Structure 1
Amino acid sequence: MVTNQMVSQTIEKLKASNIRITPQRYAVLEYLIEADSHPTADDIYRSLVERFPNVSVATIYNNLRLFTKIGFVNEMTYGDGSSRFDFATTQHYHAICEKCGKIEDIYYPGLEDIEETAHNLTGYRVTNHRMEVYGICPDCQALLVSE
């Protein structure tokens, strides 16, 4: 299964960086890899607290901070004040529903050279980029039609 392989590969990278693999750290990582929902730290906490009754929200945040720092996870901040987290294996973009807040990944070949293009046009030394597309998801569209 791809998920188990991704978890194993990521764990090996953490070990190679001398980062201790605690059961909680493993669970957070596994949850992020399996999640399609771009969860908040609170979402992760609620899903793990039953399995790990002693886990704290601070532990979740600390692990997310670590994973973000070493580049396994992207933190996505939006206007609602909550950060969402995305396990990042390849560069991708996001479609965001303006009604329900659902986020879906978009993989679009051809945007890999956008940083070089931006550099060539502006002279900026580009360090990162993100693209978001906003609209109304199919589920919310269906609700609008039925209203």
Structure 2
Amino acid sequence: MAKKMKPKPDNLLAQNKKAWHDYNILETYEAGIALTGTEIKSVRAGKTNLRDGFIRITNNEAWLVNVHISPYKEGNQFNVDPLRSRKLLLHKKEIAKLLAALTQQGKTAVPLRMYLKHGYAKVLIGVAEGKKLYDKREALKKKDQKREMARALKERY
């Protein structure tokens, strides 16, 4: 009898935890990313920082801006600028929806996580709305309350 395989996690390479703290994520899109040979090696090694990144749409093309991918150690002359803009691979309809969402006041698009899917690097993009300071405090209070309830239940049983 064959052994049942557990579903594999989505091979998370980088995550933008600050985005979940600073923004309310309204909707998400999955996009491919165009990388050079040494960049994909560096991404697979986990040398990516999504923290200050954002998505810009110019000439009906989506670009990932200000995301730092460290140069590959063995890449020498083939390495590129770590902060260069990288093209996102989306369908025309997805770009149109994203553009319509971004033209609204107070909306922005940020990268939430980067992962491998079937051997290709993917980026999860979130259309987000900025949180106010009191919203951030409220979210931290709720998180602490959940943690306290979990601790109390663990001690009880």
TM-score by length of structure 2 reads 0.24
Structure showing greater radius of gyration is 2
Question: Normalized against structure 1, the TM-score is what?
Answer: 0.25
Looking at secondary structure, tell me which structure has more helix per residue.
1
Higher relative contact order structure (alpha carbons within 8 Å, sequence separation ≥ 6): 2
Higher strand content, 1 or 2: 2
